Amino acid sequence: MAEVVIMPKQGQSVESCILTEFKKRKGDKVAVGDVLFAYETDKASFEEESKAEGVVLEVFFNEGDEIPCLTNVMVIGAEGENAEEFRPGGSAPVATAVETKAEELTTDAVAKEETTLIVAPNAVATPGCGVSPRARRLAEKEAVNLAGVAGSGPNGRIIERDVKAAIEESAKMTPLAKAVARQTGAIAPERGTGLAGTAKGADMAMLKSVVGASDSEIKPISNMRKIIAKAMHASLQNSAQLTHHLSADARRIMELRKRVKKAVESGELATNITLNDLVCFAVIKALKQFPNVNAHFLGDSVRLFKKVHLGLAVDTERGLMVPAVRNADELSIVELASRLKEVATACKKGSIDPDLLSSEAASFTVSNLGNYGVEIFTPVINLPQSAILGVNTIVPRPKDIGGGVYAFVPHIGLSLTYDHRALDGGEATRFLKQIAIEIENLEIEF
């Protein structure tokens, strides 16, 4: 009995996913638990594991295709079983993404004969004869070079069905290859270097040298990169951001950190508590005192949160991710530390719940670059949140320690970017100062 593998729905708001890589291909043997393919939403990447054992009978999409959630992606079953019945309902965009296989071509041809619609195309398109606007539009979208297309319309005009036929017959191209073809007029090789002979961007460059083609490469950006680009650009375009910098005496938290280390080493404490966890703990305490900061600015209204949902900027291979720890103000320092670790790891593995990545999921965000030695920076707000705290590295600063004696005291830098539409400088400064006070006087129990 053939098993269908569908594109899972990852989170409420996700409507489609991009299939990034096939781990199993048509004909491959598959065991339960084998990774079949990797895919990503606009926020995270995932891997789909097989729940069935058998052979991959059919794969309906190509890598890079955007696939609506719950659509059939592949079929696993016993060798020789028919998988055709599971093919997603032949709508045009899906159809163009279907892999080209000899048998399919034959079935297609039969279907066409039945409709009697296709007239044998004129052997060669007459130069100068027309192209319908609709056909031209489709050709442009699919980067079909019309020079080789024979028209079957009145007087040899190239009409939509001719372009569709050309797409069927020609080499598959990746979106990048299409972009290159559109820009440069390059023609795809009969067989590209990509999957199933798909022409890739690089294949196009080989055929037609463009300026800089030898020492540069046009590379499509990931879906997530696009999302980050859009969100960050929108944030700076649509709000009034500015950053205040201030530093806190770090001696207290450094001492706490020492105690933690000792406790961990001695086995008293199971969970490591990092400096960042301590700073976050202090931030949560400060946020409880500044409800206007723990808020979303919505243009003509603000959403004030009763709880603190703390967003944490996490650097991953795929790019920046900001998972939220919900109800962080209810957590003890140990619980907070383990939750923060949990979400960061999930992000890095790509298994994070996408709903937690929504900028609406957090009420405030902390971005810590201290590890990297950054001394000062201006983080970008994750709209609609009202502010974001950047945490910097610890540096020794001269400080009057009493009696006119100056000593170098470690200070941790704090950079608060806030949306001036939501907050004024006074309140923002008071809040930032409060974080420093909390850091300097932090009490924890473990």
Partner 1 sequence: MPKSLFVDPVELRQPGEITFAPIPVNQYNKSIKEELAEKNFSNEDLKRIYRDMFIIREFETMLNLVKTTGGYNGVEYNNPGPAHLSMGQEAAAVGMAYMLDTDDFIFGSHRSHGEILAKGLRSIEILPEEELQRVMEEFWGGATLEVAKKGFKGGSTKDLGVCFLLYGAMAEIFARITGFNKGLGGSMHTFFTPFGIYPNNAIVGGSGSIAVGAALYKKVNRKKGIVVANLGDGALGRGPVMEGMTFASMDQFTRLWEGDMKGGLPVLFSIMDNQYAMGGQTRGETEGYNFAARIAAGFNVDAMHAERVDGYNPLAVIDGFRRKKALLEEKKGPALLDIVTYRYSGHSPSDASTYRTPEEVKAWEDIDCIKCFGERLIEAGVATQQELDAIVAEMKSVIFEMYKLAIDEQLSPRMDLTKNTEQLGEMMFSNGSVDSMSDATPDVNHPMEENPRVKQLATKERFAFDKDGKPFSKMKTFGLRDGLFEAIIDRFYKDASLVAYGEENRDWGGAFAVYRGLTEALPYHRLFNSPISEAAIIGTAIGYAMCGGRVIPEIMYCDFLGCCGDEVFNQLPKWQAMSGNILKMPVVVRVSVGSKYGAQHSQDWTSLCTHIPGLKVVFPVTPYDAKGLMNAALQGTDPVIFFESQRIYDIGEQFHEGGVPKEYYEIPIGEPDVKREGSDVTILTIGATLYRALKAADIFKEKYGISAEVIDARSLVPFNYEKVLASVKKTGKIIIAGDATARGSFLNDLAANITTMAFDYLDAAPVVLGSRNWITPCHELEEAFFPQPQWFVDAYHEKIAPIAGYVPVCNMTDAEMVRRAKEGI
**Which residues contribute to the site for partner 1 (CB under 8 A)?**
114-120, 132-137, 152-155, 157, 159-161
CB of 142 to partner 1, least distance (A): 15
Helical H segments across 116-273, by residue range: 133-141, 160-169, 175-184, 201-207, 223-238, 251-266
Return d(Cα 166, Cα 164) in angstroms, integer: 5
| Among 362, 240, 212, CA closest to 299 | 240
Query: Toward partner 1, which CB reaches closer, 47 or 160?
Result: 160
Alpha-carbon span 367 to 95, nearest angstrom: 44
CB of 372 to partner 1, least distance (A): 51
CB of 134 to partner 1, least distance (A): 4
Would you tell me how many other CB atoms lie within 10 Å of the CB of residue 182?
Answer: 13
Please state, in angstroms and rounded to a whole number, the distance separating the CA atoms of residues 236 and 333.
Answer: 33
C-beta of 153: minimal distance to partner 1 in Å?
6
Q: In sequence order, which residues have a C-beta less than 8 Å from that of residue 356 and are 6 or more positions away? A: 323, 324, 326, 343
If the CB atoms of residues 152 and 386 are measured against partner 1, the closer one turns out to be: 152
Instruction: Please state the separation of Cα 408 from the chain's center in Å.
Output: 43
Task: Give the shortest CB-116-to-partner 1 separation in angstroms.
Answer: 6
Using the minimum distance from each CB to partner 1, give the nearer residue, 153 or 370. 153
Q: Could you tell me the smallest distance in angstroms from the CB atom of residue 135 to partner 1?
A: 6
DSSP per residue, 175-211: HHHHHHHHHH-----SS-SSGGGPBPHHHHHHHS--T
Rank residues 135 and 260 by Cβ distance to partner 1 and give the closer one.
135
Q: H helices of 19-159, where?
A: 92-97, 102-115, 133-141
Provide the minimum distance between the beta carbon of 140 and partner 1 in the complex, in angstroms, as a whole number. Answer: 10
Least separation in angstroms between residue 118's CB and partner 1 is: 7
Query: Is the CB of 7 or the CB of 135 nearer to partner 1?
Result: 135
Comparing CB distances to partner 1, the nearer of 134 and 261 is 134
Instruction: Identify the three-state secondary structure at position 87.
Output: coil
Q: Which CB sits closer to partner 1, 136 or 307?
A: 136
CB of 167 to partner 1, least distance (A): 15
Write down the residue that tokens 């009490």 correspond to: 443
Q: Which is nearer to partner 1, 141 or 262 (CB)?
A: 141
Q: Report the half-sphere exposure of 243 (CA within 13 A, side-chain side).
A: 18
The type of residue at 27 is G
- What is the Cα–Cα distance from 426 to 42, expressed in whole angstroms? 37
Q: How far is the CB of 156 from partner 1 (least distance, A)?
A: 10
Q: At what angle do helices 275-289 and 425-440 cross, to 10 degrees?
A: 130
Closest CB to partner 1 among 133 and 299?
A: 133
| Closer residue to partner 1, CB minimum distance, 73 or 135 | 135
Q: Which residues contact 274 (CB under 8 A, 6 or more apart)?
A: 257, 337
Q: Are 38 and 23 in contact (CB under 8 A)?
A: yes
